[in-house]
Chain A
Amino acid sequence: MRKVAVVGVGETKFSGAQEKTSVELFGEAAAEAIAESNLKPKDIQALFLGNVLGDFSEGQGSVQAFAAESIGCAGIPANRYEGACASASMAVRDAFMWVASGFYDIVLAGGVERAATMGTALATRTFSMFSDSRYEFPSGITFPAVFAMLAHLYSAKYGIPLEKLKEQMAVVSVQSYKYGMFNPKAHLRKEVTVEAVLNSFMVSTPLQLHDCCPFSDGAAALVLASEEVAKKLTSKPVYIIGVGQASGGPLVSQQEYLPRLRAREISSKQAYDMAGVTPQDIDVCELHDCFSIASLIAAESLGFFEFGKAGEAWMKGEADIGGKVAINPSGGLKSKGHPIGATGAGQVYEITKQLRGEVEPERQVEGAKIGMTDTLGGDGSTLVNMILERGW
Chain B
Amino acid sequence: MEYKLTFKDYNEALKQNKLLGLKCNDCGTVTVPPKMVCRKCSSPNMEVIELKGTGKIQTFTTCNVAPEGRESEVPYVILLVELDEGPWVMGNLTGIDPAAASMELIGKKVKMTGNAVFPGDKYSAGDGARPLFSLVA
Residues of chain A touching chain B, judged by Cβ–Cβ distance below 8 Å, are 120-122, 124-125, 128-129, 132-142, 144-145, 148-150, 152-153, 155-156, 162, 201-207, 249-253, 255, 258
B51 CB, nearest partner CB in chain A, Å: 14
Picked from A142, A204, A206, A252, the residue with its CB within 8 Å of the CB of B33 is A252
- Nearest-CB distance from B5 to chain A (Å)? 12
- Would you mind naming 22 contact pairs between A and B with Cβ atoms under 8 Å apart? A122-B68, A129-B123, A134-B128, A135-B128, A136-B90, A138-B127, A138-B130, A139-B90, A140-B66, A142-B66, A145-B61, A145-B63, A149-B78, A152-B60, A152-B103, A152-B106, A153-B59, A156-B59, A204-B64, A252-B80, A252-B88, A258-B58
Residues of the B chain whose Cβ atoms lie less than 8 Å from the Cβ of A202? 64
Determine how close the nearest CB of chain A comes to the CB of B78; give it in whole angstroms: 5
User: Contact: B89 with A252, CB < 8 Å?
Assistant: yes
CB <8 Å contact, A134 and B118: no
Chain B residues with a Cβ under 8 A of chain A: 7, 11, 33, 35, 39, 58-71, 73, 76, 78, 80, 82, 87-92, 101, 103, 106-107, 116-118, 121, 123-124, 127-130
Interface centre among B33, B62, B67, B69 (most CB of A within 10 A): B67
Question: Is the pair B67, A251 in contact by a Cβ cutoff of 8 Å?
Answer: no
The answer to whether A155 and B103 have CB atoms under 8 Å apart is: yes
* Neighbouring B residues of A251 by C-beta, 8 Å: 80, 90
A125 & B59 in contact (Cβ 8 Å cutoff): no
Q: How many angstroms from the CA of A251 to the CA of B78 in the assembled complex?
A: 13
In whole angstroms, what is the CA distance A251 to B70 when docked?
Answer: 21
Known: A125-B67, A135-B33, A139-B130. A252 touches B106 (CB 8 A): no
Residues of A within 8 A of B121 (CB): 125
B63 contacts which of A122, A129, A162, A204 (Cβ < 8 Å)? A204
Chain B residues closer than 8 Å to A258, beta-carbon distance: 58-59, 80
Of A121, A201, A255, which is within 8 A of B68 by CB? A121
A142 to B127, CA, bound (A): 17
Nearest-Cβ distance from residue A67 to partner chain B, whole angstroms = 25
Additional 9 contacts, C-beta under 8 A, given A135-B33, A140-B76, A156-B103: A121-B71, A129-B123, A138-B118, A139-B91, A142-B66, A145-B78, A152-B59, A204-B64, A204-B65
Are A121 and B67 interface neighbours, CB within 8 A? Answer: yes
Taking a contact as CB atoms under 8 Å apart, the answer to whether B67 and A142 are in contact is yes
A148 contact set on B, CB distance < 8 A: 61, 63
Known A148-B61, A204-B63, A250-B33: A138·B117 in contact at CB below 8 Å: yes
> How many angstroms from the CA of A141 to the CA of B73 in the assembled complex?
12
Interface centre among B63, B92, B123 (most CB of A within 10 A): B63
Chain B residue nearest to A162 (CB atoms) is B103
Which residues on the B side are within 8 Å of A203 (C-beta)? 64-65
- B73 CB to nearest chain A CB (Å): 6
Report the Cα distance A139→B130, complex, angstroms: 6
- Asked if residues B33 and A132 are in contact (CB atoms below 8 Å), the reply is yes
10 A-B pairs with the lowest CB-CB distances in the bound complex, closest first: A148-B61, A138-B128, A125-B67, A121-B68, A135-B33, A125-B68, A138-B118, A153-B59, A138-B130, A255-B88
Whether the pair A124, B80 counts as a contact (CB closer than 8 A) is: no
- For the complex, give the distance between the alpha carbons of A156 and B104 in Å: 10
**Quick one: which of B61, B63, B90 contacts A135, CB cutoff 8 A?**
B90
Q: Which residues from A are CB-within-8-Å of B116?
A: 138
B-side contacts of A155, CB under 8 Å:
103
Among B11, B66, B71, B82, residue most surrounded by chain A Cβ atoms (within 10 Å): B66
Chain A residues, CB < 8 A from B107: 156
A364 to chain B, nearest CB (A): 36
A216 to B37, CA, bound (A): 39
Q: Nearest chain-B residue to A212 (Cβ)?
A: B65
State in angstroms the CA–CA spacing of A141 and B66 once bound together. Answer: 8
Closest residue on chain B to residue A150 by CB atoms? B59
Residues of B within 8 A of A201 (CB): 64
Report whether A125 and B65 are in contact in the complex, using a CB–CB cutoff of 8 Å: no
Contact A139 B67 (CB under 8 A): no
Which chain A residues border B106 with CB–CB below 8 Å? 152-153, 156
Please, how many angstroms separate the alpha-carbon atoms of A133 and B128 in the complex?
9
Q: Are A137 and B118 in contact (CB under 8 A)?
A: yes
Contact, CB under 8 Å: B92 / A139? yes
Given contacts A125-B67, A142-B63, A152-B103, contact A134 B92 (CB under 8 A): no
A204 and B82: CB pair below 8 A?
no
Most buried by A among B33, B82, B87, B91: B33
Contacts of A133 in B (CB 8 A): 124, 128
Complex alpha-carbon distance, A119 and B73, angstroms: 19
- Nearest B residue to A259 by beta-carbon distance? B59
Question: What are the residues of chain B within 8 A of A135 when measuring CB–CB?
Answer: 7, 33, 89-90, 128
Min CB–CB distance A214 → chain B (angstroms): 13
